[in-house]
Amino acid sequence: MKKILSILLFISIALNSNAQLLWKISGNGQEKPSYILGTHHLVPLSIKDSIAGLPQAIDGTAQVYGEVVMSEAASPEFMQLMQKNMMIAGDTTLQALFTPEQYDVVGKVVKENLMADIAMLGKYKPAFITQQLTVILCMKHLGGFNPQEQLDTYFQQQAIQSGKKVGGLESIQSQLDVLLNSQTLQRQANLLYCLANDIEKTIDQTKRLNEAYKAQNLDEMLKLMEERDGNSCDPMPGEMEALLDNRNKAWIEKMPTIMKDAPTLFVVGAGHLPGSNGVLKLLKQQGYTVEPMK
pLDDT in tens, 182-208: 999 999 999 999 999 998 887 877 777
User: Residue 7: its pLDDT value, please?
Assistant: 31
Element (H, E) at 36: strand 34-39
Q: How many domains does the chain have?
A: 1
* Bridge partners for 24 per DSSP: 35, 291
DSSP conformation class of 241: I
Query: b or e along 138-159 (b: 16 or more beta carbons within 10 Å of the residue's beta carbon)?
Result: beeebeebeeeebbbbebbeeb
Instruction: Provide the residue range defining the domain that includes 74.
Output: 2-10+18-292
Give, to the nearest 10 degrees, the angle between helix 199-215 and helix 218-225.
Answer: 150
Sign of CA dihedral 28, 34, 38, 41: negative
Query: b or e along 66-88 (b: 16 or more beta carbons within 10 Å of the residue's beta carbon)?
Result: bbbbbeeeeeeebeebeeebbeb
Using only the alpha carbons of the chain, give its radius of gyration: 19
pLDDT in tens, 230-264: 888 888 888 889 889 999 999 999 999 999 999 99
Q: Is pTM, for the whole model, over 0.85?
A: yes
Query: b or e along 108-132 (b: 16 or more beta carbons within 10 Å of the residue's beta carbon)?
Result: ebbeebbeeebeebeebbbbbbbbb
Is the pLDDT at 6 greater than 60, yes or no?
no
Residue 233 identity: C
Given pLDDT bands bounded at 50, 70 and 90, which one contains residue 294? confident
